[in-house]
C-alpha cells in the first residue's frame, strides 16, 4: 500500500551538489595579506582571482569572469556581483538587484558584527539567507562564504526558490566587516539601488554571465507530492506544476551522495542503505529559461 509522505524542503545547488557537500579551500597567504582593506588593489585582485579559480576548478567550473568595472564598484555592489557570478556559473538564476530595504537589514547586521536579521516587513515563511564576514574586502568575504567550508552560508548564497530573488549588502561602519541579506519570493522588495541587468554590459560579450543573466526562470506553481510504496521504496506522486510548463528530472541522494542512474520517479534502497538518509532533487527546465530546482529530504529511512 502506498503511503503519502511529506518531505522537508532544502536549498539546492544548480550544479547538482547536495546541500552540505562542501570541501573547504583555504585562502592563500597572498589573499589574506593583500585583501584586508575594502579597496581592491592589483595585488589583492591577482591573489584572490587565483584562489577562486583553484576552488572553482575543484568543482569543474572555469575561471571566474569579473566585469570590467568591478574594482570601481562599492563593496556592497561587488558582493552582489560576486554572488551572482557564482550562481550563474552553476546554472542558477541571478538576484535581480540590490534593494534599499534589504541593504538596510544588511547594514544593521554588519554594524553589529553579526549575521543580518530579516526586516520587520518580511512575511513569515519567506525564503531568505544572510551572512556576515569580518572581512571588509568583497573578494575575501565572498571567497570565505563560498569556499570556507560552511554549508549553511554557501547554501544560502546558492538558494533557488523558483521565483523572484532580491538582495541587500552593506559595508560595516568603519570598514570593520560586511554583510549580505538575500530574499526570495517577496515581490515588495524591489531592486531599487542596483540592478543585475544594468551590470551585464560590463561583462565580456562571450561570457556566460552576460549571455544568460537576462533569461527568465521557470516558476513553481504547485508543490510536489511523495509516497512510500513499501518499507524501502520512495516515490514521487507528482513533481508539481510550473509556469511555463517544464520537464522535470529527478536525482536521488543517500547520505548526500548522488546515486548513479537514480533519476526515475521512484527509488528503492538497497539492504546496505537501510537506516541512512534519503533525499531527492527535482529540477525543472525549459529551453530559453533558467532551471529551477529544490531538494526534498525524507530523513533517515529505517
- pLDDT tens digits in sequence order for the chain, 302 residues long: 444 444 333 333 333 333 445 679 999 999 999 999 999 999 999 999 999 999 999 999 999 999 999 999 999 999 999 999 999 898 788 898 999 999 999 999 999 999 999 999 888 878 889 999 999 999 999 999 999 988 889 989 998 777 678 999 999 988 888 999 998 866 677 889 999 989 988 999 888 777 665 667 787 888 899 998 877 899 999 999 988 899 999 999 999 888 999 999 999 999 999 999 999 989 888 888 877 777 788 889 87
Look at the chain and count its residues: 302
The CATH number given to 3-14+217-300 is 2.60.40
Q: Are 237 and 225 in contact (CB under 8 A)?
A: yes
Q: Parse the chain into domains and list their residue ranges.
A: 3-14+217-300, 29-212
pLDDT of residue 221: 84
| Measured distance CA(195)–CA(99) in Å, rounded | 9
Query: E strand or H helix at 155, and its extent?
Result: helix 151-157
SS3 219: strand
Instruction: Match 529527478 to its residue by C-alpha cell.
Output: 250
Query: Which one is the CATH code of 29-212: 3.40.33, 3.30.1390, 3.80.10, 2.60.40?
Result: 3.40.33
Q: Which three cell numbers stand for residue 236?
A: 514521487
Specify which residues 122 forms β-bridges with: none
pLDDT of residue 7: 39
Q: Which of 42, 113, 106 is nearest to 77 (CA)?
A: 106
Supply angle C-alpha 145, 120, 137, rounded to 5. Answer: 25
| Measured distance CA(255)–CA(173) in Å, rounded | 42
pLDDT of residue 139: 97
Amino acid at each position: 500500500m502506498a503511503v503519502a509522505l511529506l518531505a522537508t524542503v532544502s536549498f539546492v545547488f544548480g550544479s547538482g551538489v547536495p546541500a552540505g557537500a562542501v570541501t573547504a579551500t583555504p585562502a592563500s597567504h597572498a589573499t589574506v595579506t593583500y585583501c584586508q582593506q575594502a579597496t581592491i588593489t592589483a595585488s589583492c585582485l591577482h591573489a584572490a582571482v587565483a584562489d577562486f579559480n583553484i576552488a572553482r576548478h575543484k568543482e569543474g567550473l572555469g575561471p571566474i569572469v569579473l566585469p570590467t568595472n568591478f574594482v570601481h564598484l562599492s563593496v556592497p555592489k561587488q558582493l552582489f556581483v560576486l554572488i551572482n557570478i557564482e550562481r550563474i556559473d552553476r546554472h542558477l538564476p541571478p538576484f535581480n538587484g540590490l534593494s534599499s530595504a534589504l541593504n538596510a537589514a544588511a547594514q544593521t547586521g554588519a554594524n553589529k558584527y553579526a549575521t543580518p536579521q530579516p526586516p520587520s516587513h518580511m512575511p513569515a515563511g519567506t525564503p531568505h539567507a544572510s551572512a556576515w564576514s569580518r572581512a571588509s574586502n568583497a573578494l575575501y568575504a565572498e571567497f570565505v562564504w563560498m569556499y570556507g567550508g560552511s554549508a549553511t552560508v554557501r547554501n544560502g548564497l546558492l538558494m533557488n526558490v523558483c521565483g523572484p530573488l532580491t538582495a541587500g549588502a552593506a559595508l560595516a561602519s568603519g570598514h570593520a566587516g560586511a554583510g549580505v541579506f538575500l530574499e526570495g519570493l517577496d515581490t515588495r522588495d524591489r531592486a531599487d539601488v542596483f540592478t543585475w541587468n544594468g551590470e551585464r554590459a560590463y561583462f565580456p560579450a562571450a561570457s556566460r554571465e552576460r549571455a544568460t543573466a537576462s533569461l527568465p526562470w521557470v516558476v513553481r506553481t504547485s508543490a510536489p507530492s511523495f509516497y512510500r510504496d513499501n518499507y524501502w521504496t520512495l516515490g514521487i506522486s507528482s513533481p508539481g506544476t510550473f509556469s511555463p510548463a517544464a520537464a522535470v528530472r529527478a536525482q536521488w541522494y543517500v547520505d548526500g551522495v548522488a546515486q548513479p542512474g537514480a533519476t526515475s520517479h521512484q527509488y528503492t534502497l538497497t539492504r546496505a542503505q537501510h537506516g541512512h538518509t534519503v533525499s531527492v532533487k527535482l529540477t525543472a527546465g525549459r529551453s530559453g529559461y533558467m532551471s529551477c530546482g529544490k531538494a526534498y529530504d525524507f530523513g533517515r529511512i529505517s
